[in-house]
Amino acid sequence: MSNKTIEQYFYGQGRIFVRPVGSVGNGGWRWIGDMSSLTFGGTDEQASHKESYSGQKSAVRKFSIGGDRTLNGVIHQLDTNILAELLRGTVTVIPPGTVTAEPFPQNVAVGDTIKLDFPYNVSELVITDSNASPVTLAEEHYDAFLEHGSIELLSLPSGPALTQPLKAAYKHAGARQVAFFNASPKEMQLRYEGINLAEGNAPVIAEFYKVSTAPLQELALITSGTEMAGMNYQAECLADASRPANGPLGRFGRYVQINPITP
């Protein structure tokens, strides 16, 4: 077997999958979505001692007593599942529906903006007053931003006066919402399935058996320039005590360089 070093370089692209720690079998993985970077690194905590007998305070012992193993990346997939994981929240599914006679605040005036209770791509909006024989408010008296369920009152009829409160009837689409920080953090398994463009798209795999994701530090809601918004991903790699410390897979993770198919 030759000991000659063969040049190998790396330019990686790939997909990242996660699933909860403790998942049974080989299923349950979910693709995170587009990530423009993913890096793994560590720090080493060391103990040391300098002697006190020579007058030079020379170092005589230094050894590792632990350290941190971390993952860092940038996620460009912005959906409710990702936000729930990064903001330690829960996802609620809101079905489409129909609303009748939703009351506005009492005594709304020209210039007021009203937010509907179900502001999800509203359609078939009709605004009436509270008269026993309801009078419909003509569309010329308000601006409706239907995708967000927002109504700005521009004017009121000169007469007769409308009986308040005004009421809205409409249909709305379904939605998915994330509540922030209402759930405990989850430990996840993470798997990178990549290709090395520098070596003819050679396949590689990196696995991290137990990661604890840090809460999202920044969520960009208004963007500018030519780049898509990204969310910084940070996680600490924990030891999986269910695996043998000196086993071939280790307790933290592994990197696999896959050989080409031989004829």
Q: How many helices (H) and strands (E) would you count in the chain?
A: 1, 16
pTM greater than 0.85: no
Strand partners of residue 69: 42
Is residue 123 scored above 90 in pLDDT?
yes
Under DSSP, the state recorded for 80 is H
Torsion angle of alpha carbons 97, 162, 157, 126, nearest 10°?
Answer: 10
Confidence band of 121 (pLDDT split at 50, 70, 90): very high
Q: What is the per-residue pLDDT for 111? A: 96
Q: What is the mean pLDDT of the chain?
A: 93
Question: If residue 85 lies in a helix (H) or strand (E), which one and from where to where?
Answer: helix 80-86
More confident of the two residues 247 and 153:
153
Contacts of 259 (CB under 8 A, 6+ apart): none
Q: What is the per-residue pLDDT for 250? A: 85
Q: Which residues of 44-69 are buried (b: 16+ CB within 10 A; e: fewer)?
A: eeeeeeeeeeeeeeeeeeeeeeeeeb
Using left for φ > 0, alpha for ψ between -120 and 50, and beta otherwise, residue 174 falls in beta
Judge whether 181 and 89 are in contact, CB under 8 Å. yes
Confidence band of 227 (pLDDT split at 50, 70, 90): confident
Confidence band of 246 (pLDDT split at 50, 70, 90): confident
Confidence band of 2 (pLDDT split at 50, 70, 90): low
pLDDT tens-digit readout, 76-107:
999 999 999 999 999 999 999 999 999 999 99
Confidence band of 226 (pLDDT split at 50, 70, 90): confident
Confidence band of 242 (pLDDT split at 50, 70, 90): confident
Confidence band of 53 (pLDDT split at 50, 70, 90): very high
Q: What is the per-residue pLDDT for 96? A: 98
Q: What is the per-residue pLDDT for 160? A: 84
Q: What is the per-residue pLDDT for 153? A: 97
Is residue 1 scored above 60 in pLDDT?
no
Rounded average pLDDT over 43-47 = 90
Best CA proximity match to 185, nearest among 234, 240, 113: 234
Share of residues in the chain with pLDDT > 70 (%): 99
Q: Quote the CA–CA distance of 26 and 15 in Å, as a whole number.
A: 17
Q: What is the per-residue pLDDT for 6? A: 86
Rounded average pLDDT over 23-40 = 94
Contacts of 220 (CB under 8 A, 6+ apart): 229, 230, 231
Is residue 191 scored above 90 in pLDDT?
yes
* Amino acid letter, residue 121: N
Ranges of beta strands (E only) in 97-196 are: 97-103, 113-115, 123-128, 142-145, 150-153, 167-172, 175-179, 187-196
